[in-house]
């Protein structure tokens, strides 16, 4: 098993990719810290999925925009399990708005959660990993950072920042045997995307070379590869899992404009 007897902390684990990865890690032998912000019911459901696979789960609420709460999360995980072997920085918010309508409040919310939150989660967990002799950090990004997708300026900036941060952390943490990599999913059938567009698979299937959007479960394999000893000599890398979308670069702009109008200036 890829993660036998390891402890994996997953942020944003109440639904979508985070939920899939948390349960997938349990299936590969890991105990899991299920971190979430608002969806307690979803987080408990994820924890049930972990336990059904014979592993232990800790459910913990955290607002990643506040460093104090991140410190409390990491402390709680360490008190429960004694170590953290893998961090999956998955939690993120989007912030839909045309670039000329982005408010300071919306910008700060996206950057604080996605970029600041990922950084300080990595820092706090890395302190524990350093003392334990090493570990792996997997940041979940988006190919939005590579394609210039309209109405997502704050989100793209936060994810582009994660790409740069991954390289920086990989260099600085390598002496402590902590590997840092990023997975950038393409269009994926998660709740927030299906709320924005019920026909999400059809809309994005027309522009993705693979012909469809991804299922959240299709991100499990790439994340577990980057988290496990199978990628022991891999660090500072960005892996796209997007059905070829980042190569083709076609964007359904009409769909993006419709979503931005419905979401309004607050995103």
| Marked catalytic residue, from 14, 15, 159, 231 | 159
Beta strands in 210-262 (DSSP E): 238-241
Beta strands in 133-252 (DSSP E): 135-140, 178-185, 238-241
**Are 23 and 53 spatial neighbours (Cβ–Cβ below 8 Å)?**
yes
Euclidean distance between CA atoms 257 and 255, whole angstroms: 5
**Distance of CA 53 to CAs 24, 25, 133, 215, Å?**
9, 10, 27, 21
Q: Which residues contact 12 (CB under 8 A, 6 or more apart)?
A: 18, 35, 36, 37, 90, 91, 92
**142: annotated active-site residue:** yes
**127: annotated active-site residue:** no
| Marked catalytic residue, from 36, 118, 155, 200 | 155
**45: annotated active-site residue:** no
| Marked catalytic residue, from 142, 153, 158, 246 | 142
Question: What tokens appear for 80 in the block?
Answer: 């429960």
Catalytic residues: 142, 155, 159
């Amino acid at each position: 098993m890829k993660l036998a007897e390891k402890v994996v902390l997953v942020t944003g684990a109440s639904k979508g990719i985070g939920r899939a990865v948390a349960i997938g890690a349990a299936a590969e032998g890991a105990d899991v810290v299920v971190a979430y912000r608002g969806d307690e019911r979803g987080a408990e459901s994820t924890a049930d999925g972990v336990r059904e696979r014979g592993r232990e789960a800790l459910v913990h609420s955290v607002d990643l925009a506040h460093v104090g709460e991140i410190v409390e999360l990491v402390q709680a995980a360490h008190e429960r399990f004694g170590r953290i072997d893998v961090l999956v920085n998955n939690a993120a918010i989007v912030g839909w708005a045309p670039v000329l309508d982005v408010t300071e409040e919306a910008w700060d919310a996206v950057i604080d959660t996605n970029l600041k939150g990922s950084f300080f989660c990595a820092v706090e967990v890395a302190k524990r990993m350093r003392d334990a002799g090493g570990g792996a950090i997997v940041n979940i990004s988006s190919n939005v950072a590579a394609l210039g997708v309209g109405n997502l300026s704050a989100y793209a900036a936060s994810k582009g920042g994660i790409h740069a941060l991954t390289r920086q952390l990989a260099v600085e943490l390598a002496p402590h045997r902590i590997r840092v990599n990023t997975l950038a999913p393409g269009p994926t059938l998660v709740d927030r995307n299906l709320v924005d567009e019920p026909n999400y698979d059809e809309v994005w299937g027309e522009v993705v070379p693979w012909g469809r959007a991804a299922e959240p479960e299709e991100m499990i394999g790439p994340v577990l590869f980057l988290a496990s000893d199978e990628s022991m000599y891999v660090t500072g890398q960005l892996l796209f899992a997007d059905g070829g979308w980042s190569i083709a670069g076609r964007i359904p702009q009409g769909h993006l404009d419709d979503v931005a109008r419905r979401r309004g200036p607050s995103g």
